[in-house]
Chain A
Amino acid sequence: MRRTIQWTVVLLTLGVIFSGCETKTTNIDIDNDKGEAVMALDYRDFQGAATDMIESLLASGAVDKKDGTRYVLVVSRIINDTMQHVDTDQLVKKIRVGLLQSGKVVVTTAVGIDGAEDKMSMKTREELRGNVEFDQKTVAGKGSMVAPDLSLSGKILQRNIRVDKKTQRVEYYFQMSLTDIKTGLAYWEDERIVAKRGSNKSVAW
């Protein structure tokens, strides 16, 4: 009997101990996140870099078309040269949204470095043009697509530097260029650096 009570107490104690060690899941307030920094790139780094890039681009006047119409932008190659699996859209999408909201730029999804981003524009033309099931007045006519004026390209670089036995520094470089497609000239370029210092045990990939 005494042995049963002892085992019950032990099991209950273990339950209490392990439930206490569990990290609670909470939603992060992304507008006021004072959480610990991490050695890898997180959403705060992408948001900071994107904000700086949009501000720099709008302030430069490079997207101001003199006749008051909007420039058509195509997103070119954004190279991920880091040790992390980064979806470059984490950066580019924010920049695209910011530029679209500026009212100065519209982005084409019909052209892309690896083919159209949204293949539907071309597919509907190929499949619906001449198809008797569809009212041809509602099918996009020939020559109705708009070619891009500007191309946005960039690169994200990573450098790992060992400071001492315990410490390492990781540097991330966000580099972007805006090229005028007609002339091939880059009208705007900028770079933002995000640097982190932390334990050698932390893995930045």
Chain B
Amino acid sequence: MRQWLVMMVLAGVAALGSGCAFHRTVANAHFKDIDPSFITVGKTTVYDVLDRLGPPAPVSELSENFRLISDTHLCYVCYESRRTTFALGYVLFLPFCWEDGQMTDELLIEFDRDSGVVSSVTRTRQATVRPPLQGESARAPRQTQNLTPGLRR
């Protein structure tokens, strides 16, 4: 009797667990650790930056480019999302899905509109959490760093 019970519990766990999946998607991972130390504030131009780093790439759609590039800024974005799904696929399909998506690393390079040289560099880092296993309280505080004072002039 006890063996049957154990087997039924195991079968139940296997049936429930089969629908459980954890996803992590990272877009533009190569932008995550851009080193802006080559920039000289007031001297490096937008073309120098483009030659060195290439153009910013959108996370998912090309239409995003409008917000990443302008005559006064370039923004290099790394996007990460964590998704947990639990989908029971036995006759009655109950899809459970939790997702958190954040721009985990953004490097914002601003230019003087008239001269086209770098005027400031800012980096923002934001962590993702994995809902529902982690709530908002588990998220590390956003970090924003003004890198301009540390660059050459």
The answer on A and B forming one complex is: no
Chain A positions within 8 Å of B, measured between CB atoms, are: none
Chain B positions within 8 Å of A, measured between CB atoms, are: none
